[in-house]
C-alpha cells in the first residue's frame, strides 16, 4: 500500500513492533483503526504492507477488533487485479491484531490531484473505469466499500490502479451489518452518499455509485461538488456536455434515481470513452452539438446530504453529444455461451441476420454499418412478425435468459426535440408495436424488439437505455440472392485450439488456466517471440484478441494473412517522440518510418487492464479497432494486397496462418477469435513441434 512520501516517518523497529516474521522498514501512515507499516517478510524476502490494530482502543467502544477482522476478510475474499491483495491475518504476542497486504509502490489519487488539480479526460476515464471493475467484483461478493475517495485509490508506478482500505466495508454477513465505531461517522465528508451518514447500516452498493460520481467530477474539474455546484461542462467548457447527465444521475440524493449498478454506470462511461479517444488519438475531429443552458445542482447540509431543487432536472440523455460518427465506433463483443448468430435470411427483397452478443445500441449501430447494413427497421406488421419468428429461436433458452437477452436492438430512436420517434434510415415511423398503451417520451433512449410477455410467436417494442447490452438484427436493403455483401457466418474460438508445444515458434509461451501468457524479450536471431495459430482464415474475416498487458513497453502483434500475403498489426511500437500502431510492412516500409496505415498515440496501452483489438479484413482493405475505437483504415490499391508483406523476424512457418507476437512485453491473452465472413476458414492441427 502506498502513501505520499512526505507523510512517511522512520519508525524504530524496537518501538512496539512485534509482528513475527516481518522486519519493519518505515511507518506509512496512521488512521482511526491503527497504523500501516512498510515491512519485509523474512520467508519470501518481499516487501509488504502491514496494518496493525491500534493499542489506544477504548474497550467500551464498538468491538473494534471485529471491524478490523471484517476489513481483512473483505479484502481477502476479493481476488481481483485492481483490489489490494491481503496475504495473511494474525495476532501479535502483545494481543494486537494485524493483517499483511501487498505493498503498492507509487502514489495515490489524492496526491496526484494535489499536483495536477484535474486530470486529462482519458486518464480520468481510465481510472474511473478501472475502479468500476474493482467495485463490480466487490459488489458481486456482497461487499460494499462505503469509503471511495482519492486517497483510497492507489496508482502503481506502472499505472496500475488498485482500490484500497475496506475499513468501512459492509459485507452481506448480518453479524457485521451494524458495526461502527462509537463517536465516529462512516464514510468521508464530500464523498459518501447521504444514506451513509443518515443510517450507515442501510447503505447498499449504490452508495459506492454516488462516491464514484464525486470522484469523477473531481478528476475532471479539480474540485469536489459541494453546495450549489456547476455542471462539469460549465466548470470546464472543453469537456462538452457528455458528462453532465451521467454525473448528475450518479449524484442523485434518492438512490433509486441513481444508476442501479456499477455495471450500468460503467456501460455509460464506456460510451463516453468512445467519444474521447481514451488511448489513441483519432484521425478525425469531434463536433459537439451546441450546448443549451444547464441548471445548477444544489447540495445542502454540512457537506453531506445532496438535494436537487425542483427546477434542477437532469439534463436529458443525448448519446450524440461530442460523439464521433457511428462508423468510428466499434463493439466490445461478449457473446453469451447459449447464444449464436443466425444464418442470413431474406424477406421481400431485403436480407436480415441476428447477431448475438452484448452490444450497446451505439455499438450495434456501428457494427451494422461496418457490415454494409443498418439496424433493422420494422415498418409493417408483416415485417415485424417475420423478423421475430425468424430469429427468436436464436435467443438463449427461457430458463437461462436474463432481461437484456429477451430481444434485440432495432433501429428506432427518439428525435432530439419533438418527442416523436424515427427510424435511423428515415423511413416513415407509421407502424408501431409498443408494449405500453402510449408511445414513450422522447427522453427514453433506444428501441428493442422482444417477446410480448405471453410467450409464443408475438413480439412487442420497448424503450431501453442505450447502454443495456443485447444482440441486434442487421438489415441490408434490396440485397438480391448471390449479392457480394459480406454477411458474417460464424465465430471461431481459437484459444482452446492452441497447443503451446506445437504452435510456439520462439520465446516463452505458457498456459495459465484458460489464458495464454507470453513473456517476450527483445528481437533475437530467432526473430520476435511468436506463435502460429492453428487456423487458416477465409477471404474476409475479423481477427479479435482480448488481452491484458502485464509488463514491458514495446509491441504486441497480430499476424494476419489476406490474398496470400502475410503481414502484421503492431500495437505500441516505441518510436522517438511517442508511440505508434499500424500495419507492417506496407511497400516494404516499417510502421516506425511511415504515416500510411499507422496512427500515433500519446500513451502505451495501460498495464493491468483488459483491452480488445479487432482487425477487419475485407477484399477492399483493412480496419483496426482498439477498445471500441477505430484507429487505422487502409484501402487496398488496384493490385489488392500486394503492397503488404511481413518482415523476416515476424514470419510464421506457414504464411497462410494467423499468429501472435510480442517484443519486450508480458501479455495475457483472454480471448482469441475469428468471425468468418466470405468463405470458411480451416482449423489446422497437423503442425509438428518446432525447435525453440
Among residues 675, 377, 679, 373, the alpha carbon closest in space to that of 543 is found at: 675
Instruction: Give CA–CA dist 279/604, Å, rounded.
Output: 8
SS (H, E, C) 194-259: HHHHHCHHHCCCHHHHHHHHHHHHHHHHCCCCCCEECCHHHHCHHHCCCCHHHHHHHCCCCHHHCC
- Radius of gyration of the chain measured on its C-alpha atoms: 27
- CA max distance for the chain: 86
Under 8 Å between Cβ of 72 and 86: yes
Burial 177-201 (b: 16+ CB within 10 A, else e): eebebeeeebbbeebbbbbbbeebe
Instruction: Give CA–CA dist 319/339, Å, rounded.
Output: 28
Under 8 Å between Cβ of 129 and 266: yes
- 687-692 long-range contacts (CB < 8 A, ≥24 apart) are 687/502, 687/503, 687/532, 687/534, 687/653, 687/654, 688/502, 689/501, 689/502, 690/504, 690/505, 690/653, 692/504, 692/506, 692/507, 692/526
**Phi, psi dihedrals of residue 449, rounded to the nearest 5°:** -95, 135
Q: CA dist 331 to 124, 187, 615, 668, Å?
A: 22, 37, 12, 21
Among residues 197, 211, 65, the alpha carbon closest in space to that of 138 is found at: 211
Instruction: Give CA–CA dist 99/89, Å, rounded.
Output: 4
Which residue's entry shows cell 467502544?
61
Choosing from 147, 244, 542, 645, which is the catalytic residue?
Answer: 147
- DSSP secondary structure code for residue 144 in this structure: B
Instruction: Give CA–CA dist 393/382, Å, rounded.
Output: 18
Burial environment of residue 51 by CB neighbours within 10 A (0 to 12, 13 to 18, 19 or more) = buried
Q: Provide the grid cell at 314.
A: 437532469
**Annotated catalytic, 147?**
yes
Question: Where would I find the beta strands (DSSP E) of 535-577?
Answer: 535-536, 541-552, 556-562, 565-575
User: Does the annotation flag 51 for ligand binding?
Assistant: yes
Annotated binding site for ATP: 51
Q: Which residues are marked as active site?
A: 147
Amino acid at each position: 500500500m502506498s502513501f505520499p512520501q512526505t507523510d512517511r516517518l522512520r519508525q524504530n523497529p524496537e518501538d512496539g513492533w512485534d509482528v513475527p516474521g516481518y522486519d519493519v522498514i518505515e511507518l506509512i501512515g496512521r488512521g482511526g483503526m491503527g497504523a500501516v507499516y512498510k515491512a519485509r517478510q523474512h520467508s519470501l524476502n518481499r516487501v509488504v504492507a502491514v496494518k496493525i490494530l491500534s493499542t489506544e482502543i477504548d474497550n467500551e467502544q464498538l468491538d473494534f477488533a471485529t471491524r478490523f477482522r471484517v476489513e481483512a476478510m473483505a479484502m481477502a475474499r476479493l481476488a481481483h487485479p485492481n483490489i489490494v491483495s491481503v496475504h495473511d491475518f494474525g495476532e501479535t504476542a502483545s494481543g494486537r491484531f494485524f493483517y499483511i497486504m501487498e505493498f503498492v509502490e507509487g502514489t495515490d489519487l489524492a496526491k496526484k490531484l494535489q499536483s495536477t488539480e484535474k486530470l486529462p479526460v482519458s486518464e480520468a476515464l481510465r481510472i474511473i473505469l478501472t475502479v468500476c471493475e474493482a467495485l463490480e467484483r466487490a459488489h458481486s461478493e456482497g461487499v460494499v466499500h462505503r469509503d471511495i475517495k482519492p486517497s483510497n485509490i492507489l496508482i502503481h508506478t506502472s499505472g496500475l490502479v488498485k482500490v484500497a482500505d475496506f475499513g468501512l466495508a459492509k459485507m452481506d454477513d448480518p453479524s457485521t451489518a451494524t458495526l461502527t465505531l462509537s463517536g465516529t461517522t462512516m464514510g468521508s465528508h464530500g464523498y459518501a452518499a447521504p444514506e451513509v451518514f443518515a443510517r450507515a447500516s442501510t447503505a447498499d452498493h449504490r452508495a459506492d455509485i454516488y462516491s464514484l460520481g464525486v470522484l469523477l467530477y473531481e478528476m475532471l474539474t479539480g474540485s469536489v461538488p459541494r453546495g450549489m455546484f456547476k455542471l462539469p461542462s460549465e466548470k470546464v467548457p472543453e469537456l462538452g456536455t457528455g458528462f453532465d447527465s451521467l454525473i448528475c444521475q450518479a449524484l442523485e440524493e434518492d438512490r433509486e434515481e441513481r444508476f442501479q449498478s456499477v455495471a450500468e454506470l460503467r456501460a455509460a462511461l464506456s460510451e463516453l470513452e468512445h467519444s474521447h479517444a481514451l488511448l489513441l488519438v483519432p484521425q478525425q475531429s469531434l463536433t459537439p452539438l451546441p450546448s443549451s443552458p444547464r441548471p445548477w445542482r444544489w447540495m445542502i447540509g454540512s457537506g453531506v446530504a445532496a438535494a436537487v431543487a425542483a427546477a434542477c432536472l437532469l439534463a436529458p440523455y443525448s448519446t450524440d453529444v461530442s460523439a464521433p460518427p457511428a462508423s468510428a465506433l466499434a463493439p466490445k463483443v461478449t457473446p453469451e455461451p447459449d447464444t449464436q448468430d443466425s444464418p442470413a435470411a431474406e424477406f421481400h427483397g431485403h436480407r436480415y441476420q441476428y447477431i448475438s452478443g452484448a452490444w450497446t445500441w451505439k455499438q450495434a449501430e456501428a457494427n451494422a454499418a461496418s457490415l454494409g447494413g443498418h439496424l433493422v427497421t420494422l415498418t409493417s406488421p408483416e415485417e415485424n412478425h417475420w423478423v421475430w419468428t425468424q430469429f427468436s429461436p436464436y435467443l438463449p433458452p427461457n430458463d437461462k435468459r436474463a432481461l437484456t437477452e429477451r430481444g434485440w436492438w432495432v433501429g428506432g430512436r427518439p428525435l432530439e426535440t419533438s418527442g416523436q420517434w424515427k427510424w435511423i434510415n428515415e423511413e416513415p415511423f407509421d407502424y408501431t408495436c409498443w408494449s405500453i398503451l402510449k408511445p414513450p417520451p422522447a427522453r427514453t433512449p433506444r428501441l428493442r424488439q422482444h417477446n410480448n410477455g405471453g410467450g409464443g410467436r408475438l413480439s412487442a417494442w420497448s424503450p431501453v437505455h442505450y447502454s443495456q447490452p443485447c444482440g441486434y438484427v442487421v438489415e441490408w436493403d434490396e440485397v438480391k440472392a448471390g449479392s457480394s455483401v459480406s454477411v458474417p457466418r460464424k465465430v471461431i474460438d481459437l484459444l482452446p485450439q492452441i497447443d503451446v508445444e506445437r504452435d510456439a515458434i520462439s520465446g516463452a509461451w505458457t498456459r495459465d488456466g484458460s489464458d495464454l501468457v507470453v513473456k517476450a524479450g527483445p528481437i533475437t536471431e530467432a526473430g520476435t517471440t511468436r506463435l502460429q495459430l492453428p487456423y487458416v482464415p477465409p477471404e474476409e474475416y475479423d481477427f479479435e484478441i482480448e488481452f491484458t498487458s502485464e509488463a514491458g513497453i514495446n509491441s504486441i502483434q497480430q499476424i494476419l494473412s489476406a490474398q496470400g500475403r502475410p503481414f502484421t498489426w503492431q500495437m505500441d511500437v516505441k518510436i522517438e517522440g511517442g508511440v505508434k500502431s499500424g500495419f507492417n510492412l506496407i511497400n516494404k516500409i516499417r510502421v516506425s518510418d511511415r504515416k500510411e496505415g499507422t496512427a500515433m498515440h500519446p500513451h502505451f496501452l495501460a498495464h493491468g487492464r483488459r483491452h480488445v483489438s479487432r482487425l477487419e479484413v475485407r477484399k477492399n482493405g483493412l480496419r483496426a479497432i482498439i477498445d471500441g475505437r477505430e484507429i487505422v483504415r487502409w484501402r487496398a490499391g488496384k493490385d489488392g494486397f500486394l503492397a503488404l508483406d511481413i518482415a523476416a523476424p515476424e514470419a510464421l512457418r506457414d504464411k497462410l496462418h494467423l499468429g501472435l507476437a510480442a517484443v519486450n512485453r508480458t501479455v495475457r491473452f483472454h480471448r482469441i477469435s475469428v468471425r468468418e465472413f466470405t468463405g470458411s476458414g480451416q482449423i489446422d492441427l497437423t503442425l509438428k513441434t518446432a525447435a525453440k
